[in-house]
Amino acid sequence: MSEAPLGQDAATPQWMQQRERGNRFWLRIMSTLSCLLGRRCSRLVLYGIALYFLLFAGKARMASRDYLTRCLGRPPHWHEIYRHVLSFATTIHDRVYLLRDRFDDFQIDLSGTEALHRHYDSGQGLLLFGAHLGSFEVLRAMARSRPELKMSMAMYPENARQINQALQAINPAAQQDIIALGTMDAMLKVHGRLEEGALVGILADRAVGPDQYFSRMLLGAPARFPSGPFRMAVMLKHPVYFMAGIYLGGHRYRVHFELLEDFSTVSRQQRASAIETLLDKYVAALERHCRAYPFNWFNFYDFWDES
């Protein structure tokens, strides 16, 4: 059944009120140590870091317990909360190598790329809707077999600033094509990239500021999702894929793509229903991946408290 969007919300989303820990100096130190010691040795430090956050980051620990309870259908054991935090720390650590194109350090499987490549080879730009699920950086592994792929990332300006700082700290030579959302010309820039035949990634599970929200059931409880990315997708009339770079443990990742909708022929009269259909399919894909890979969801705040 169709559900009307929730009202305009002028409040700052909770995730934006939590400052991420770390800065450029420590990123440089960690990057240098990781490259000197290698992944196997330097990742030993992660066990202590994960334990520290488990003990002292109370809000993150409570959010992890709440999410895992919903996902597993029972209260998690302490070692499962620890595993959740450790998985997050591992994906952050692996950025050092992935952003330096050290893909040979990993076993990366690709799934669903056949349909995506067919769309791309036809000259169509594609929207890739992801979530804070696994690793975004590992998606760049696609470029190993298709170096001509053009990819941009649309994100909140503060996140864009942090990503650029991280890139400068980890690999000054690395370049990311980032479009800052929330600006007047953001949609025009996204449209321009799509018309050039590029892939444009958006993490669509978080609000980036005042927006209209849709409430959808996620893991048995209502949660709010911003309507902005979904409205933009329908208006721009390009195929939309769900994307996820799942961490499987050790040095293994699986990059997954799944076609959600192709809006090439959607009419103005169909836009409202198309937005809700796209959101329903996105949330279904997100929940399916959370249940299959419960330790890959990295929203360490009360996601359902936003409803």
> What pLDDT is stored for residue 119 in this prediction?
87
Query: Is the Cα torsion angle 62, 65, 68, 69 positive or negative in sign?
Result: negative
* pLDDT tier for residue 17 given thresholds of 50, 70 and 90: very low
Say yes or no to pLDDT of 1 above 50: no
- DSSP 8-state code for residue 221: E
Does residue 140 sit in helix, strand or coil? helix
> What pLDDT is stored for residue 162 in this prediction?
60
Are residues 214 and 227 in contact, defined by beta-carbon separation less than 8 angstroms? yes
Say yes or no to pLDDT of 140 above 80: no
Rounded CA-CA distance 93/218 in Å is 29
What does the pLDDT look like over 75-129, one tens digit per residue?
999 999 999 999 998 988 888 888 788 888 899 999 998 889 888 888 889 999 9
Residue 178 or residue 215, greater confidence = 215
What does the pLDDT look like over 267-306, one tens digit per residue?
777 888 999 999 999 999 999 999 999 999 998 888 886 4
What does the pLDDT look like over 226-236, one tens digit per residue?
888 899 899 98
> What pLDDT is stored for residue 40 in this prediction?
82
Rounded CA-CA distance 82/50 in Å is 7
Rounded CA-CA distance 215/279 in Å is 10
Order of strands across the sheet that contains 239-249: 107-111, 252-262, 239-249, 126-130, 199-203, 151-155, 178-180
- Amino acid of residue 235: M
Query: Quick one: average pLDDT of 158-164?
Result: 57
Residue 64 or residue 149, greater confidence = 64
- Please list the residues that pair with 199 across neighbouring strands: 126, 151
Query: Quick one: average pLDDT of 44-62?
Result: 89
* pLDDT tier for residue 207 given thresholds of 50, 70 and 90: low
Least confident of 121-125, 179-183, 195-199, 238-242: 179-183
Mean pLDDT computed over every residue of the chain: 82
Non-local (6+) Cβ contacts of 25 within 8 A are none
- Please list the residues that pair with 225 across neighbouring strands: 214
Query: Is the Cα torsion angle 42, 131, 80, 65 positive or negative in sign?
Result: positive
Query: Quick one: average pLDDT of 252-272?
Result: 87
Residue 158 or residue 65, greater confidence = 65
Query: Quick one: average pLDDT of 45-57?
Result: 89
> What pLDDT is stored for residue 194 in this prediction?
92
**Is the pTM higher than 0.95?**
no
Residues of the chain with pLDDT > 90, as a percent, come to 36
> What pLDDT is stored for residue 252 in this prediction?
95
